[in-house]
Amino acid sequence: MVPEDLFYSEEHEWVRLEGDVAIVGITDFAQDQLGDIVYVDLPEVGATIQLGDVVGELESTKSVSDIYSPVSGEVIARNSELEGSAELINTDPYGEGWLFKVRPSEADATERLLTAEDYQGITAQ
């Protein structure tokens, strides 16, 4: 499942643009590879993040994985629902399991990201 209306990073994050806000999450492929997610560490609201920075962690029953920022900008929200229900990432990675929201610092924030078709190409290998 790779929604066509999102952008993707090679590190398996997705980005949905809503006006001047980028909503970030991890892909269905990533959550499947991680297994049951039990803990999430997200960037703080107000933090300035850069494309490619490690901005948090996902801990699953299998391993701990870094969260990489797919865009540069200021974190304006984090999904507080995940603090007590990290499993939302497994059950609804493109909806209720979103991670954080960023106000991008670049007008072309998605220019370096992959389309759904491109992302499917790298996960099919």
pTM of the model: 0.95
Q: Is residue 88 situated within a structural domain? A: yes
Q: Is residue 48 situated within a structural domain? A: yes
Q: Is residue 116 situated within a structural domain? A: no
When the pLDDT of each residue in the chain is averaged and rounded to a whole number, the result is: 95
- Cα–chain center distance at 125: 21
Number of structural domains, the chain?
A: 1
What is the CATH number for 44?
2.40.50.100
| Rounded mean pLDDT, 80-90 | 96
Q: Is residue 64 situated within a structural domain? A: yes
d(CA 77, CA 45): 6
Where b means 16+ CB within 10 Å and e means fewer, 77-97 reads: ebbeebeeebebbbeebbeeb
Q: Is residue 124 situated within a structural domain? A: no
Q: 109 pLDDT band (50/70/90 cuts)?
A: confident
- Cα–chain center distance at 79: 11
* 21-26: strand order across its sheet: 7-8, 13-18, 21-26, 100-104, 73-78, 48-49
Residues of the domain holding 34: 7-106
Q: Is residue 63 situated within a structural domain? A: yes
